[in-house]
């Protein structure tokens, strides 16, 4: 693996029992379906790799594998040169704090009983328990400022915020540990166009400010087109095409990519 | 051609702890046979509330004002009836028979424990003229045949197989086709589709949009198509109405409105919408105002890059900006309306 790679995955596989398999009692030979089916991926620091694909193509499963939120059936993952799948205990915790996730539904992903300060401070409490209360407050206030919310959001609860503001809280929570990699799974698909544009702009600015590497997951090619440096097109658990964003969008090589592009309804110019 | 639907100053009011709010405010538009009117606007601008008002399905406690004239087939002498003035019984008779509706998430509109075929048959049976006199009511065999026809019309492949299946056994796209079959089962003249493709993949969305375009052509349907996606509306609509905080702020031929928007809000939506072409997105500043705290004049004033002092004075009227193209903004230099109309 080259020095310049932040995240590297080889031949990742994950299958689930199908509904039929679940009813069949789920032992050997029960029908399984490959959600991620032999994916290879290299992520260079500072780039934005977008994974696009239709519902059920395996995008979220792949993201969860890459963050080791679930264990693969087979394959290798290296993060910053370390074997992520072999990591245990303190080392795993250290690797994990460098990779954070932003979710699609800001409402569902935030604990309704925690005020913003507690919610955004929680990762700090876990990963930097030695921090004094005052320092933690400062860090939380600063990151809220950075995502455009301001420290006066701290005592408030998620239901007091709009969808776009909740997405900002989710981003603040992901960034408070100063990770190197941020995986954003459909970060704007639950938002209105104007609010979505604000969040996309924020993600762009944060990437510059903190030298972040992004894995952006989306079913929307227009959204992906705004941020991605490279695009991987996923279908039925496999990448059917990976390339520089401009090329994939302008000269798609795979028929499936062409079909996806052709189906995007465009505003008349 | 006489319009199928002539909505005139329709207003909906809802009670809230902070007083009455108007999610639909002084809305007027017409819908001709075979025509598609696209209705766009961000979340909460009143799109769904408007369609529920036309269907007589408003939440309890709601008040309606204004008129919505429907060219109903069985309206009697006048040939038109005002949906806003109808009672519940008459509205039930009207739903499905004169106006059909398709929702964003078919899973919530379909009954999960009934087979698709049974649900389509129910939609047909609900609108049969009451049997008894004359004895011409179709039997179960005939209704079953009509249900299969309805599924076929919505291009459901293998309708006989699908009719025997339950909603969860169908993909999202097929469920939406089944919904369309049910909505059209009683041959309404108007179809209201509220974000019918928002939950679908683009390739499936394309198929559903093509299906709706064909049905509208073949059946002469008037289609009210609600979406927040400017690309989608460009594909399906003839005319476009843009809503903001309960009011229509711009209306006109779809390509004209999207190419030469005359209202700053429409322009803002266009600048904020991601396209396949990469460019700098420009979010609209600020947030949508709450309905219980609307600005006194133009509702868009606090966010508008072109605002002037007089914008806050009074709600601007819709002004004619070009033939058939109106915008609710003081910047519009009104063109003189043709006298012959
Ligand atoms: N925990 C699970 N148990 C069983 N099957 C699963 C599980 N998670 C995912 N799957 C299946 O794996 C496949 C891929 O799902 P995944 O959620 O990764 O797709 P996706 O590309 O993220 O789709 P979407 O765009 O709808 O979010 C699907 O067929 C899904 O049903
Ligand atoms: N029962 C209710 N009481 C008071 N206000 C309500 C009620 N239901 C909806 N509203 C308000 O009415 C307004 C219009 O809502 P509506 O559902 O029509 O918006 P929409 O344009 O369809 O939005 P979306 O794109 O999210 O579907 C919103 O501001 C909403 O908060
Ligand atoms: S009336 Fe004034 S504030 Fe409203 S959209 Fe026009 S210029 Fe902007
Ligand atoms: Mg997913
Ligand atoms: Mg709605």
On chain B, the residues whose CB falls within 8 A of the CB of A225 are 274-278
CB B179 within 8 A of CB B171: no
Of A3-7, A221-225, B26-30, B179-183, the poorest mean pLDDT is in A3-7
What is the least distance, in Å, from the CA of A166 to any CA of chain B?
Answer: 14
**What gap in Å lies between CA A240 and CA B254, rounded to an integer?**
36
Q: How far is CA B199 from the centre of its chain?
A: 17
**What gap in Å lies between CA B188 and CA A37, rounded to an integer?**
47
pLDDT at B127 over 80: no
User: What Cα–Cα distance (Å) separates residue A213 from each residue in A1, A43, A184, A193, B298?
Assistant: 18, 8, 11, 24, 42
Contact (CB<8Å) B274/A225: yes
Q: What is the reported pTM?
A: 0.92
Contact (CB<8Å) A226/B231: no
What local confidence, expressed as pLDDT, does residue B72 receive?
A: 73
Nearest to A153 by CA among A200, A121, A199, A126: A121
Helix/strand/coil (H/E/C) assignment for every residue in A110-150: CCCCCCHHHHHHHHHHHHCCCCCHHHHHHHHHHHHHHCCCC
CB A173 within 8 A of CB A120: yes
pLDDT at B160 over 80: yes
pLDDT at B340 over 70: no
pLDDT at B240 over 90: yes
pLDDT at B105 over 80: no
Token pair 């369309």 is found at B180
Residues of A in CB contact (< 8 Å) with B are 54-55, 162-164, 192-198, 200-201, 219-223, 225-226, 245-246, 249, 259-261, 263-269
Contact (CB<8Å) B231/A265: yes
The predicted model gives B225-245 an average pLDDT of 96
Residue of B203, B230, B281 lying closest to A201 (CB–CB) = B281
What local confidence, expressed as pLDDT, does residue B175 receive?
A: 93
CB B203 within 8 A of CB A263: yes
Contact (CB<8Å) A197/B203: no
Instruction: Confirm whether the ipTM is greater than 0.95.
Output: no
Q: Which residues line ligand 2 (CB under 6 A)?
A: B 14, 16, 21, 23, 41, 43-49, 59, 228, 291
Structure tokens at A233: 């097109």
Beta A181-185 vs A99-102: how paired, if at all? parallel
Other C-beta atoms closer than 10 Å to the C-beta of B336 total 6
Measured over all CA atoms, what is the biggest interatomic distance in chain B, rounded to whole angstroms? Answer: 70
User: Which burial class, exposed, middle or buried, applies to B50 when counting CB atoms under 10 A from its CB (0-12, 13-18, 19+)?
Assistant: buried
Nearest to A175 by CA among A246, A108, A98, A245: A98
Mean pLDDT of chain B: 91
Contact (CB<8Å) A267/B231: yes
pLDDT at B150 over 90: yes
What local confidence, expressed as pLDDT, does residue A32 receive?
A: 85
User: b/e map of B186-216 (b: 16 or more CB within 10 Å)?
Assistant: bebbbbbbbbbbebbbbebbbbbbebbeebb
Beta B190-194 vs B99-102: how paired, if at all? parallel
The predicted model gives B141-149 an average pLDDT of 92
Helix locations, chain A, DSSP H: 19-23, 59-66, 89-97, 116-127, 133-146, 163-175, 193-210, 221-227, 245-250, 255-263
Backbone angles phi, psi at B214, to 5 degrees: -70, -45
Structure tokens at B293: 């705290």
Angle between helix B116-125 and helix B140-153 axes, rounded to 10 deg: 110
pLDDT at B186 over 90: no
C-alpha neighbours within 13 Å on the C-beta side of residue A110: 33
pLDDT at B207 over 90: yes
- For chain B, counts of helices (H) and of strands (E): 11, 12
Beta A7-17 vs A32-43: how paired, if at all? antiparallel
Contact (CB<8Å) B276/A222: yes
**What gap in Å lies between CA B258 and CA B38, rounded to an integer?**
12
B245 lines ligand 3 (CB under 6 A): no
Q: Which atom in ligand 2 lies closest to the alpha carbon of residue B50?
A: 18
Confidence of residue B312 (pLDDT cuts 50, 70, 90): very high
Structure confidence by residue, pLDDT tens digits, B280-306: 899 999 889 999 999 999 999 999 999
User: b/e map of A190-217 (b: 16 or more CB within 10 Å)?
Assistant: bbbbbbbbbbbbbbbebbeeeebbbbbb
What local confidence, expressed as pLDDT, does residue B78 receive?
A: 59
Confidence of residue B341 (pLDDT cuts 50, 70, 90): very low
CB B26 within 8 A of CB B9: yes
Percent of chain B surpassing pLDDT 70: 94
What local confidence, expressed as pLDDT, does residue B131 receive?
A: 47
B143 lines ligand 3 (CB under 6 A): no
Q: What does the radius of gyration of chain A's CA atoms come to, in whole angstroms? A: 19
User: Which burial class, exposed, middle or buried, applies to A2 when counting CB atoms under 10 A from its CB (0-12, 13-18, 19+)?
Assistant: exposed
pLDDT at B216 over 50: yes
Residue of B nearest to A198 (CA): B283
Ligand lying nearest the CA atom of residue B16: 2
**pLDDT < 70 stretches in chain A:** 1-3, 20-30, 106
Nearest to A159 by CA among A120, A119, A194, A110: A110
Ligand lying nearest the CA atom of residue A53: 1
Residue of A nearest to B43 (CA): A192
What local confidence, expressed as pLDDT, does residue A103 receive?
A: 87
Confidence of residue B338 (pLDDT cuts 50, 70, 90): low
**What gap in Å lies between CA A8 and CA A82, rounded to an integer?**
10
**What gap in Å lies between CA A239 and CA A248, rounded to an integer?**
13
What local confidence, expressed as pLDDT, does residue B91 receive?
A: 87
Structure tokens at B332: 């519009």
What local confidence, expressed as pLDDT, does residue B80 receive?
A: 86
A48 lines ligand 1 (CB under 6 A): no
């Amino acid at each position: 693996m080259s020095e310049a790679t932040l995240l590297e995955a080889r031949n990742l596989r994950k299958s689930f029992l199908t509904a039929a398999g679940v009813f069949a009692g789920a032992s050997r030979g029960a029908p399984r379906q490959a959600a991620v089916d032999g994916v290879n991926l290299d992520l260079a620091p500072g780039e934005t790799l977008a994974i696009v694909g239709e519902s059920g193509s395996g995008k979220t499963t792949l993201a969860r594998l890459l963050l080791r939120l679930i264990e693969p059936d087979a394959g290798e993952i290296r993060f910053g040169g370390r074997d992520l799948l072999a990591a245990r205990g303190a080392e795993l915790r250290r690797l994990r704090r460098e990779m954070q996730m932003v979710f699609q539904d800001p409402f569902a992903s935030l604990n309704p009983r925690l005020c913003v300060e507690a919610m955004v401070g929680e990762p700090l409490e876990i990963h930097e328990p030695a921090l004094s209360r005052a320092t933690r407050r400062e860090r939380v206030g600063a990151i809220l400022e950075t995502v455009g919310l301001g420290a006066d959001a701290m005592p408030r609860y998620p239901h007091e915020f709009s969808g776009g503001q909740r997405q900002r809280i989710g981003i603040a929570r992901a960034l408070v540990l100063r990770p190197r990699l941020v995986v954003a799974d459909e970060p704007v698909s639950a938002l209105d166009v104007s609010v979505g544009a604000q969040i996309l702009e924020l993600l762009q600015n944060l990437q510059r400010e903190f030298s972040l590497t992004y894995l952006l997951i989306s079913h929307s090619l227009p959204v992906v087109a705004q941020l991605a440096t490279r695009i991987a097109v996923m279908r039925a658990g496999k990448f059917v095409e990976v390339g520089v964003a401009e090329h994939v969008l302008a000269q798609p090589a795979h028929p499936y990519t062409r079909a996806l592009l052709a189906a995007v309804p465009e505003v008349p110019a | 051609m006489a319009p199928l639907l002539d909505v005139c100053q329709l207003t909906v009011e809802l009670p809230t702890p902070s007083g009455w709010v108007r999610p639909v405010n002084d809305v007027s538009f017409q819908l001709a046979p075979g025509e598609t009117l696209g209705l766009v606007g961000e979340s909460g601008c009143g799109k769904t509330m408007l369609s529920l008002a036309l269907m007589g399905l408003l939440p309890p406690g709601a008040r309606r004002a204004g008129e919505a004239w429907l060219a109903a087939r069985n309206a009697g002498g006048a040939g038109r009836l005002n949906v806003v003035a109808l009672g519940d019984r008459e509205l039930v008779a009207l739903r499905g028979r004169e106006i059909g509706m398709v929702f964003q998430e078919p899973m919530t509109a379909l009954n999960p424990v009934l087979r698709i075929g049974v649900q389509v048959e129910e939609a047909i049976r609900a609108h049969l003229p009451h049997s008894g006199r004359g004895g011409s009511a179709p039997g179960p065999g005939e209704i079953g045949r009509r249900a299969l026809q309805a599924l076929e019309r919505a291009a459901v492949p293998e309708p006989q197989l699908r009719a025997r299946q339950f909603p969860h056994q169908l993909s999202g796209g097929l469920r939406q086709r089944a919904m369309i079959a049910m909505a059209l089962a009683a041959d309404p003249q108007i179809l209201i589709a509220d974000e019918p493709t928002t939950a679908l993949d683009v390739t499936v969305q394309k198929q559903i949009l093509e299906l709706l375009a064909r049905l509208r052509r073949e059946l002469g349907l008037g289609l009210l198509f609600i979406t927040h996606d400017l690309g989608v509306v460009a594909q399906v609509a003839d005319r476009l109405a843009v809503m903001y905080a309960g009011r229509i702020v711009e209306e006109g031929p779809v390509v004209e409105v999207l190419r030469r928007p005359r209202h700053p809000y429409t322009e803002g939506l266009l600048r904020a919408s991601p396209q396949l072409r990469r460019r700098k997105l420009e979010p609209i500043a600020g947030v949508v105002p709450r309905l219980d705290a609307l600005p006194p004049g133009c509702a868009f004033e606090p966010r508008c890059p072109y605002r002037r002092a007089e914008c806050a004075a009074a709600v601007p009227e819709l002004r004619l900006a070009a033939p058939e193209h109106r915008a609710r903004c003081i910047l519009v230099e009104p063109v003189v309306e043709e006298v012959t109309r």
